[in-house]
Amino acid sequence: MVLVISWVTTLNTMWQMINLHECVPGVRFDRYIDLGRHAFGPKLGPWIVLPQQLIVQVGCDIVYMVTGGKCLKKFVEMACSHCKPLRQTFWILIFGSLHFFLSQLPDINSVSSVSLAAAVMSLSYSTIAWAGSLSHGRIENVSYAYKHTSSADYMFRVFNALGQISFAFAGHAVALEIQATIPSTPEKPSKILMWKGALGAYFVNAICYFPVALIGYWAFGQDVDDNVLMALKRPGWLIAAANLMVVVHVIGSYQVFAMPVFHLLEGMMIKRMNFPPGAAVRVVARSAYVAFTLFVGVTFPFFGDLLGFFGGFGFTPTSYFLPSIMWLVIKKPKRFSPKWIINWASIFIGVFIMLASTIGGFRNIVADASTYSFYT
């Protein structure tokens, strides 16, 4: 039910953002922060939008570091059973080292081929995950009951799960930046092509997430892993290939979410620190960002907890209720009209998920960190 509500709600807010991109004739709001300035004012807008957008982009990249390293480790262990095992920390470092080179690509257009490969891989490994779970069948004595735990722990785990679902709908944070790359004329505005692309993306999103969530739970019940692929072992070559596909996917996705941050950092260094524009600024800013996300990913490799925390703290505002608030401010729909009611419903749902999942995710990170041996 929560998956369906989230899918429908964020598809509506995506449509709103696409239409707000050119809500002023002759003006294109090419970045989320530009739209925020128009909706909330030049001083308040950046403070409302920019922190949330940065949390989404940086949070995604931290999670991608963890995911890439874990799946790379799983792939090598399955492909080479006689190889000497390495610590998980080393695999995250190996994965992260790739981005020191890929981060030097100039702009978001230059990663389009990487992004396409990532999308294909995402669809492929998701299909393998649910088909593998279906082929695996239900485990012996499978249980669909809630895990036996304290009432407080149960509540926080549910809150964290809401954030994990929110993490699935993160495209709003870079939607305007992507739409900015599409030519726009009065006869053929960019919103037409962008909306077609968004519908296609949401269709792929649905056929990736829904079968994995439902069939994975059917097969493993309460013992399902954060990453379903980790629980599958046969056929070995196919599961190994799926883990490699995850690696390719998160390589591309990391760059898509990092690119706006790169431009922000470079702009700050040039304008505020008087660095001369050029290759040196690019190397320093981008390498520092990659090193930061790599350090956090190595230090806190709690995949599920990170999903919940970042999903609530950053993803929910940018995907669920900030677009609705901006629509109400800019478009001013008639009170109690269908559009007015839908937007207020999105705001209430989004605020609740944000508060609950942020608390749940943070609590679970603290709880897991207390029993975790760092850098193992």
Residue 252 binned pLDDT confidence (cut-offs 50, 70, 90): confident
Per the domain annotation, does 148 fall within a domain? yes
Under 8 Å CB-to-CB from 82, ≥6 apart: which residues? none
Per the domain annotation, does 248 fall within a domain? yes
Tens of pLDDT, residues 316-365: 888 888 899 999 999 999 988 999 999 999 899 888 888 887 787 777 77
Per the domain annotation, does 350 fall within a domain? yes
Q: How far apart are CA 342 and CA 245, in angstroms?
A: 38
Phi-psi region of 263 (alpha: psi -120 to 50; beta: other; left: phi over 0): alpha
Per the domain annotation, does 298 fall within a domain? yes
pLDDT at 161 over 90: no
At residue 316, what is the residue type?
T
For residue 326, give the 3-state DSSP assignment.
helix
Q: How many independent structural domains does the chain possess?
A: 1
pLDDT at 297 over 70: yes
Tens of pLDDT, residues 195-230: 998 998 888 888 888 888 888 889 888 888 777 776
The pLDDT mean for the chain works out to: 82
Q: Name the pTM for this structure.
A: 0.77
Per the domain annotation, does 334 fall within a domain? yes
For tokens 């299909």, the residue is 127
Report which of 179, 159, 202 is spatially closest to residue 316, judged by C-alpha positions: 159
Query: 239: domain CATH number?
Result: 1.20.1740
Residue 104 binned pLDDT confidence (cut-offs 50, 70, 90): confident
Average pLDDT over residues 85-98: 86
Give the range of the structural domain holding residue 63, as residue numbers without chain letter: 1-371
Provide Rg for the chain, Cα atoms.
21
Average pLDDT over residues 235-248: 81
pLDDT at 171 over 80: no
Under 8 Å CB-to-CB from 365, ≥6 apart: which residues? 300, 302, 305, 306, 309
Residue 82: per-residue pLDDT: 79
Per the domain annotation, does 376 fall within a domain? no
